[in-house]
Amino acid sequence: QVQFEESGGGLVQPGGSLTLSCAATGSIVSRVVMGWYRQAPGNERELVAVITRDGLINYADSVKGRFTISRDHANAVYTVTLQMNSLKPEDTAVYYCTADPSLGRVPRYWGQGTQVTVSS
């Protein structure tokens, strides 16, 4: 099992920046792929960015060059951070921290989500 604590969502103007952070704990967290998915109203959940324990990263095409994912750990807490720059209204969504033992499939573990709203 994996437990998440997400933070950093909010309201920002177009062109602005936000940083999302997720602290994960659990018996398998050191071995999982961690990442962020998002879901906008009326849309399905979609991958934003994922990072493996070895540092392999995948980004959605829509966020490449604007978002940066990183991963760190201290003691038994693994943190994944999503730095979001040049935000656009279409980035508005609920963002979910995720974890899964494998890369390339829908994650098994999901956080509760944090709202990001990009609006003037």
- The more confident residue out of 29 and 61 is 61
Q: Which residues of 16-49 are buried (b: 16+ CB within 10 A; e: fewer)?
A: eebebebbbebeebeebbbbbbbeeeeeebebbb
What is the mean predicted confidence (pLDDT) over 62-89?
A: 96
Which whole number is the average pLDDT over 22-40? 93
Residue 28's pLDDT band (cuts 50, 70, 90): confident
pLDDT of residue 64: 98
